[in-house]
A and B are shown apart, each in its own frame.
Chain A
Amino acid sequence: MTVGAGLVPARTPEIQDNRAGTSPAPTIMAKNSNNGRPLNVVGKPFRKVDARAKCTGQTKFADDIVLPRMLYCKILRSHEPHAIIKSIDVSKARALPGVFAVITGRDLPIPYGILPVSQDEHALSIDKVRFIGDPVAAVAAIDEDVAFDAMNLIEVEYERLNTISSIEEAVMIDEPRIHEYGDGGNIHKKVSLEFGDVEAGFAEADLIREDTFFYEGSTHLPMEQHAAVGYFDPDNKLTLWSATQTPHYVHRALAKVLGLRASHIRVIATPNGGGFGGKSDPFNHEVIVCKLAMMTGRPVKCTLTREEVFYCHRGRHPVLMHVKTGVKKDGAITAMHFQSFLDGGAYGSYGVASTFYTGALQTVTYEVPRYKFQGLRAFTNKPPCGPKRGHGTPQPRYALEVHLDKIAEQLNLDPAEMRKRHLVKPNSVTANYLRVGSMGLGQCIDKVVAGADWKNKFSGWNGNSRRLPAGKGIGIACSSYICGAGLPIYWNNMPQSGVQLRLDRQGGVCVMCGSVDIGQGSDSILAYIVAEILGIDPFDIRVITADTDLTPVDLGSYSSRVTLMTGNAAIQAAERARELLVMAVAEKLKVPIENISLAERRAFDVENPEVGVSFAEAVVLAESKFGTIGTVGSYTPPASPGKYKGAGVGPSPAYSYSAAVAEVDVDPNTGIVVVERIWIAHDIGKSINPVLVMGQVEGSVYMGLGEILMEEMAYRGNRNVVHKFPSMLEYKSPTTMEMCDVKTYLIEDPDPNGPFGAKEVGQGPLLPVPPAVANAVYDAVGVRIDEVPITPEKVLKALREKKSGRDGRFGPTSVPSVVWPDPQRILTPAEGGDGREMPRVAVHS
């Protein structure tokens, strides 16, 4: 069967002939490009290497694993939000026929956590539970039914403690403390940074505006529930199969908690049935199945129910924000002061990083010459928050972009033009020491403005000259995201990503890498890049990933790091292999090395293309000359110019950029907002595979749409700590009926740090969607909804306010009063700073 579009390369693609040198010259020539060679695979919409398996039900997810003699695990979870565990009686559970083991917190006393600074979790709670859903005891039994019955026979006596249910309560109420660490009371972390003299910046402004926003928490809701299988073999080696985005960090956590040598532990990340950040922490069920497997000598599986997945959470932090910005009449920012207050839930998770992220990327879109950030993360008795797609940046991005819209109105400027006029320059360093490389945001704005016919649809700020019919509106927003974090989660000097390549004499190529395919296509990216450099078909390549026994470390599928980092490591490994092949073939053909080209599964003389050998023969020649052919590649991000405490969050090898225009229809009688279409442009640097990039853009738009219109992790009960609706029916997420049309534009502004110039796309395109919709709602009906999600109730409330002559706004009006630590003061690069904190001057009275 042929492919209908004629635009997709054939499924077993005929690689283009590059012998004549007629193909267009590649756009970039850098160490991470194809060294000037024409591109045959990169940039083309190939299938994913695992596409057939996924479309035939053959992909093995964690819960699909069944081993002989396997036991099933159920975890008893706390129904108390905050309580001391007085006693646990497991005797009845142990006595139930078919039960093989029952464990409690005493069996796993060593704490762990994803960040070295927040080792605050136990696989099973020891003395205290901190939220409804905290694990208390676990059972391994012959089948799930028996495990379930046994779980219900466990008796736990609790002594209730008062709960902390909100940011405000955490700030005000010190006792009881949810944790015995942090920045006092129930404050997990306080951050205070000042880059340049912010007050002097405000003094230069023509207009100073202040706004307050709230962004509700939401969850990843991957279609696959978390699942894990542990097996402790007779040789005392432990294997864990798990739906995890970060097998390397899970490996480290298991070694710590179980007291085993890491070299005796193998973690295999199964293909994730969606992650979005929700499978990035080491989880209690992963530790538990391993412990139960060690105790019983049998494989043990645990698959979470959907309700348990809601309790695992680690999703979007609810964030209350205050932003104050000084601008000149043309919208140029003179200074910005941003405050964020994060509701962290019951554990640390990635929260310290999340806190910094709520203040890090404000500076990489528009010039912010002086910048102050204060952030606070609170502990509350709710499921822990962590990294969800965009990690800590969609909340401040929403606040910033709506705030800028209000500024544009006050200055009577076109919001698209105002943004475009003040863009950060490419190859520059921001006030908070983030080094920006390529910067395609201007082109992104141009594309969506033209595509959406912005100039003929945006009514301007004068309500008398409406261009769209009543109730319809249009809004714009922009954003940026990191392409991988500059630093690993634990301090080390090793690469963040490693790739190993093995070539065999049959012409087989195997690429091995620790990265995890969570649906984004990271396995395929490895195959495309290696195929490009070795001149073979990506479907010739065997890809082995995410197995700590077999693959070199890659830190995992988070922070939009995978394409950039594994791609660069793959390029290095493949170029090294290519060099061996080329040397051997050149010797055989008796031509200079530079003459050898690899393409179409051949190695040949470019000046005499019919003279050559097959790829398999080239490997034989190389193996004869050099011995077994295996190469490695690694990638370490460039050092960041920021040296102050906290400078580890925000730096990235590159930044992607996005701009979005949303068109909405708001019914003033019901308050229902229908998003009709979103135009989105994304600066991808270079698409390794454009159809996969399109999928990430569309999926990001979808997830952003869910967050702005309906998704919320809401709690109820008199203490506001009981999850309101831990089910997929009642946790509203967009179905096909709510999803809008999307017009996508891919901007290719290659970044020197990206493989073939590529930047990220998995997370960034989510970011402009919520604020673009919020701004469009204002254009449609003249009310500002300064709180995400924009539900019909909020719209109606704001419309009523407006009708009664008041503000026509829905949203928070104040932030808690907090004693902030003295900020670290850092001179900006423009002020001659060196990226370090200025010495603190002691003040004597």
Chain B
Amino acid sequence: MKQKAHIRFSLNGEETEVAFAPHKTLLEVLREDLNLTGTKHGCELGECGTCTVLVDGRAILSCLFLGLDAKGREVKTIEGMADGATLHPLQETFADLGAAQCGYCSPGFLLVAEELLQKNAKPTRDEIKEALSGNLCRCTGYIKIYEAVELAAAQMRGEVYELPRESFYGCE
């Protein structure tokens, strides 16, 4: 058995202590040593964005981030996105629009979108596309994801915003 490393960091707002094999990525530490399996993996090579988490508010690929480097930082995963039982507006709109089909890439998309909306409360469609361009989704064609981000952004700005009927029923 290799000697384990031991760190403390803030995980979803909770002070956390964990021991793990020192070569492990943050992805592996989260999933295997902390049992937070909401963070998914699609390639483990930094190519698909699926394993995205927020470190100190910044979206990073947890498959390319050493667990050791999380020491003393604030890490947020999909498990920490809702406020208790109250979902984040992005989680609500993703659910309403079917922006999560298989749901496997959704944690990554949600966290990247959260980071975007923190920086830019009113992103244009092109800004949303650019922000999400590092995340692959094979189910949705991305369109329902854009709409969900736009709807959540409007709600977070406190605006009454309605998506067009065609988002739900198709064009007339």
Contacts and interface: CB of A to CB of B under 8 A. Distances in A.
B9 interface: no
Interface string B75-108: 0011101100001010111111110111111110
Contact of A703 (B40, B44, B138): B138
Nearest to A694: B170
Chain A interface SS verdict (over half): loop
A211 B137 CA distance: 35
Interface in A332-358: none
| Category for how many chain A residues contact B | 35 or more
A5 B167 contact: yes
B42 A728 contact: yes
Contacts of B154: 4
A694 B35 contact: no
A4 B142 CA distance: 20
A223 B105 contact: yes
B166 A744 contact: yes
Nearest to A705: B141
Given A4-B154, A735-B133, A223 B42 contact: yes
Contact of B140 (A305, A698, A746): A698
A6 B105 CA distance: 27
Contacts of B40: 57, 61, 223-224, 273
A489 interface: no
Given A4-B163, A5-B168, A727 B102 contact: no
Contacts of A708: none
B30 to A, nearest CB: 10
Nearest to B32: A66
A440 interface: no
Contacts of B104: 61, 222-224, 273-274, 519
Which residue, B32, B42, B44, B48, has most C-beta atoms of chain A within 10 A?
Answer: B42
Nearest to A276: B138
B51 to A, nearest CB: 11
A727 B98 contact: no
A693 B167 CA distance: 11
Contacts of B138: 220-223, 274, 276, 699, 702-703, 733
Contact of A728 (B38, B47, B170): B47
Nearest to B39: A57
A4 B141 contact: no
Contacts of A691: 97-98, 144, 167-169
Interface in B14-61: 21, 31-32, 35-45, 47-48, 50
B133 A727 contact: no
Interface stretch (A46-54, A122-130, A600-608, A615-623): A46-54
Contacts of A703: 138, 141
A7 B95 CA distance: 14
Interface string A287-321: 00000000000000000011000000000000000
B70 interface: no
Nearest to A680: B170
B168 A699 contact: no
A42 B100 CA distance: 20
Contacts of A727: 43, 45, 47
B31 to A, nearest CB: 8
A818 interface: no
Which residue, A3, A57, A520, A745, has most C-beta atoms of chain B within 10 A?
Answer: A57
B168 A7 contact: yes
Interface in B130-172: 130, 132-144, 146, 151, 154-155, 160-163, 165-171
Given A4-B160, A737-B133, A521 B168 contact: no
Given A52-B87, A733-B136, A690 B168 contact: yes
Nearest to A517: B102
A6 B162 contact: yes
A694 B140 CA distance: 9
Nearest to A272: B102
Interface in A492-522: 518-521
Which residue, B130, B137, B160, has most C-beta atoms of chain A within 10 A?
Answer: B137
Interface string A728-739: 110001011101
Contacts of B162: 4-7
A692 interface: yes
B95 A736 contact: no
Contact of B89 (A1, A58, A447, A745): A1
Which residue, A5, A63, A702, has most C-beta atoms of chain B within 10 A?
Answer: A5
B103 A519 contact: yes
B129 interface: yes
A517 to B, nearest CB: 8
A713 to B, nearest CB: 15
B103 A746 contact: no
Which residue, A274, A518, A737, has most C-beta atoms of chain B within 10 A?
Answer: A274
B110 interface: yes
Given A222-B138, A306-B44, A56 B79 contact: yes
Contacts of B110: 55
B101 A519 contact: yes
Contact of B102 (A3, A11, A518, A687): A518
B154 to A, nearest CB: 7
Contacts of B155: 1, 4
A695 interface: yes
Nearest to A518: B102
A746 B169 CA distance: 7
B171 A4 contact: no
Contact of A56 (B21, B82, B133): B82
B142 A736 contact: yes
Contacts of A220: 138
Given A52-B87, A733-B136, A47 B38 contact: no
26 contacts: A1-B155, A4-B155, A5-B151, A7-B162, A47-B96, A48-B98, A51-B94, A56-B81, A56-B87, A61-B104, A223-B50, A274-B138, A275-B102, A518-B102, A519-B101, A692-B98, A694-B169, A695-B101, A699-B139, A701-B141, A728-B48, A728-B136, A729-B45, A736-B128, A736-B129, A745-B171
Given A225-B42, A694-B169, 16 more contacts: A47-B96, A57-B107, A58-B38, A59-B103, A63-B41, A223-B102, A223-B136, A273-B103, A274-B102, A690-B168, A691-B169, A695-B140, A699-B101, A699-B139, A729-B43, A735-B134
Closest 3 CB pairs of A and B: A57-B38, A519-B102, A54-B103
